[in-house]
Structure 1
Amino acid sequence: MAQREHHYRVNIEWTGNKGQGTESYKAYSRDFTISALNKAGITGSSDPAFLGDKSRWNPEDLLVASVSACHKLWYLHLCAEAGISVFAYQDRAEGTMVDGDRGHFTRITLRPEIVIREGDDIQRAADLHHQAHEQCFIANSLNFPVECRPIISCTSEK
């Protein structure tokens, strides 16, 4: 299969100049806005540990969210192909980062809770998480482990 290139363009605008620029470490806000053509903006900041606004998304949150969302999208696709009907999907993903001389993530753990149609194959639904992980573009781009600990239940909804 031939490889295709996909390009993504976003704009990051720093909105944290309090009038003194970056005169000192505490003189400026870490606030920013992420935007892209025809998409709603996302307000961001740094993690509160680094003087950021806790009410805004930080880059670390966005990384964990990207891994979780990519995995979910692949999982739903694979379930649809396998004839497994997913009625609900919620992930309580968590990332671990260490800081120091060179901060980095050490792990992301996905904890999806999935409800599938009664009678569908729960073991097959669980196994598809491994395949979703193998397909996930974001997880394939990382240099640390991503674990998935799914909980799957059934519903009698049709």
Structure 2
Amino acid sequence: MTRDHHYAIELAWTGNDGDGNRSYRGYRRDHVLSAPGLPDIPGSSDPSFRGDPARWNPEQLLVASIAQCHLLWYLHLASTAGVVVTAYEDAPTGTMGEEPGGAGAFSEVTLRPRVTISAESDPEAAAAVHERVGDFCFIARSVNFPIRHEPVILVEGGQA
């Protein structure tokens, strides 16, 4: 039986400087994402599309969502595989192509997790868990482009 989970946020455009979006160049792309009990996320469009570089853009948030989901499932699956993770960092990147008319789509995301495991954990098992995450990660299962993994596994007291 499938269990449904529902997610509600609020989105408010804050870029109206008095004339609304009367002209393409006459408004800011600024907005705020919020949800009860959570800090606000200041958003805008990518600076390439007249956005504020000091604010998160949707493309960054998509890459971040994929990386977060991978981290959380990796920790879970590593735990059940007997791999003790003591540190995890990632530097993911995404590639989006823009068509001449302005439409675009992501073509890939690459995750570069740098995982430190305990000395008694198996580095090969730790590496193998990355390949299993895509079968479980809700975000990865929802996108139509490849998510690549370039993991580095470090063992406390040495490197694998």
Gaps of 5+ in 2: none
Aligned partners of 2:91, 2:105: CA distance in 1, in Å? Answer: 21
Residue equivalent to 1:155: 156
**Residues 55-134 of structure 1: pairs in structure 2 closer than 5 A:** 55-100=54-99, 101=101, 102-134=103-135
Aligned counterparts of 1:83 and 1:107: Cα–Cα separation in 2: 30
Kindly state the Cα deviation for residue 79 of structure 1 after the two structures are TM-superposed. 1.1
SS of 1:6 mapped into structure 2: coil
**2: CA distance, partners of 1:115 / 1:21:** 50
Q: Which AA in structure 2 matches 1:127?
A: A
Task: Provide the residue aligned with 1:14 in structure 2.
Answer: 13
Q: Give the structure 2 partner of residue 40 of structure 1.
A: 39
Give the superposed CA RMSD: 0.8
Q: Which runs of 4+ in 1 moved over 4 A?
A: none
What's the TM-score, normalizing by structure 2? 0.95
CA offsets per residue over residues 19-70 of structure 1, 9 Å max, x none? 1110101100000000011111100000000000001000000000000000
How does the TM-score come out when normalised to structure 1?
0.96
Q: Report percent identity of matched pairs.
A: 48
State the one-letter code of the partner of 2:54: S
Q: Distance in 1 between matches of 2:127 and 2:135?
A: 14
How many residues of Structure 1 are paired with residues of Structure 2 in the alignment?
A: 155
Q: Which one-letter code corresponds to 1:29 in the other structure? A: R
